[in-house]
Structure 1
């Protein structure tokens, strides 16, 4: 899900997840309130935003 077919470069979902995680880390805000979905399905974008928030909450130091 996070890598393109070549197995090296990020997929759109991988890039989106990374951006959501950066957004949360830099601004300290819940990424799910941001309406951006890129060209992902809204449900997929929301899932990735929620997972980015979960990672941030569980692994910040």
Structure 2
């Protein structure tokens, strides 16, 4: 095999390996982001809801001047 053909084959193999590595990296990143989203959703569910206002003039604190 001449040097040019060997270089082309070597470059193609390196590119294929790089593409595979990137695909694996993206899959891991996507999995981590999904886990973070689920974790954030669970944390948001633990926040207590504020009580409804008693009346429309100020809720629990009257703000008359």
Report the TM range for the smaller structure's normalisation: 0.3 to 0.5
Where relative contact order (Cα < 8 A, 6+ residues apart) is larger, the structure is: 1
TM-score by length of 1: 0.33
- The structure carrying a bigger helix percent of its residues is 2
